[in-house]
Amino acid sequence: MKTAMRLGKKSLLAAVLGLLGLAIQPAAAEERAKDLFGAEKLPAATAAQSFGFYSKGCFAGGVAIPMDGPTWQVMRPSRNRRWGHPAMIALIEKLSRDAAADGWPGLLIGDISQPRGGPMMTGHASHQIGLDADIWLTPMPDRAMTRAQRESMSATLMVDEKTHLVKDALWTPQHTALLKRAASYPEVERILVNPGIKKKLCDTVKGDRSWLRKIRPFWGHDYHFHMRIGCQPGSPDCKAQEATPDDDGCGKPLAWWFTEEPWRPNKNPDAPKARDVMTMANLPKECRAVLDAPGPVSAEAPTFHGGAVPVAAAAPEPEAPSQPATPASDSGDLPSAANAFAATPRMGAPVPRPRPPAN
Ligand SMILES: [Zn+2]
């Protein structure tokens, strides 16, 4: 009886609210973080700082890599994900120069971060704190592509989907040199590649193999590699990732990727991904201030042009009205079990199997 009365009171309250035209709003802290961060068009014009973890955080003081440079072009510009911590943007520019000197024609730059980081409407679990960048494994064409071409050009898939091995006809010593160069920078902690690419390096790199430690196998990453740098000075609230093991990673942990287990179909494909349910309450509390911080006067103000990193002046006007982020078509969604931060399972990993016959 008592229970019935309570229920009665509750529905009465709902009815009254309904009459008053008031929906029962979730608290501000329950707002989906990806909606808020995905709507930001410009960075927070404050000192550069990353908050939280690669897959759960945000950043301030972002700068953009220009759409074009002498040795790079930005792909999929409509996504507006060419923003990063100034140290990341400077490193990409340096990699493009060094790689060109090594014989790579130039970088095609994929997603870095949203202007203020945070979870994205589509794609990546990480890339949230301005310290992750995707670089295509397709060499840059020797002409400036139009915006339309950058949206539509297909990347070259380097790995056979069935065997999970690199397509030998496509792999060149320049691909190896590009990954070696990226791994050579002390700031770079990890480079994620498809297991087939890791295996190709394990099988072919001669001489100095110490850099293979940083090359980590992961789902996807068959047309691009993912370069991750460590937490930067001035970011005390940036959470570092566990160090990679000291060995080259070519043994048992790699063998696991060539078993059936990692490729089983996702039993629960409709389960929401972390980024879909993440609220502001799940992010570091500073991310609210990052969202609220004034933006620069324009996207040009915080665009990197080499040398001293620009510090954007705060704009006097509020942000432009928000729009939903452009959906990314080839976002390479991973099985929900995939977790870039978990160690590769070691339990039950068999000895490396022989190469399957080519066909
Ligand atoms: Zn990535």
pLDDT for position 30: 76
Three-state SS letters, the chain: CHHHHHHHHHHHHHHHHHHCCCCCCCCHHHCEHHHHHHCCCCCCCCCCEEEEECCEEEEECCEECCCEECCEEECCHHHCCCEECHHHHHHHHHHHHHHHHHCCCCEEECCCECCCCCCCCCCCCCCCCCCEEEEECCCCCCCCCCHHHHHHCCCCCCECCCCCCECCCCCCHHHHHHHHHHHHCCCEEEEEECHHHHHHHHHHCCCCCHHHHHEEECCCCCCEEEEEECCCCCCCCECCCCCCCCCCCCCHHHHHHCCCHHHCCCCCCCCCCHHHHCEHHHCCCHHHHHHHCCCECCCCCCECCCCCCCCCCECCCCCCCCCCCCCCCCCCCCCCCCCCCCCCCCCCCCCCCCCCCCC
Give the distance (Å) from ligand 1 centre to CA of residue 216: 12
**162-182 mean pLDDT:** 97
Give the distance (Å) from ligand 1 centre to CA of residue 113: 9
pLDDT for position 325: 35
Residue predicted with more confidence, 190 or 272:
190
* pLDDT mean across residues, the chain: 83
Q: Is the pLDDT assigned to residue 336 strictly greater than 90?
A: no
Give the distance (Å) from ligand 1 centre to CA of residue 134: 5
Q: Is the pLDDT assigned to residue 343 strictly greater than 50?
A: no
Residue predicted with more confidence, 49 or 352:
49
Give the distance (Å) from ligand 1 centre to CA of residue 332: 9
Residues with CB under 5 A from ligand 1 (ion): 134, 226
**248-269 mean pLDDT:** 93
Give the distance (Å) from ligand 1 centre to CA of residue 124: 6
pLDDT for position 359: 35
pLDDT band at 215 (very low <50, low <70, confident <90, very high): very high
What confidence tens digit (pLDDT) does each residue in 108-164 have?
A: 999 999 999 999 988 889 999 999 999 999 999 999 999 999 999 999 999 999 999
pTM summary value: 0.79
**299-321 mean pLDDT:** 58
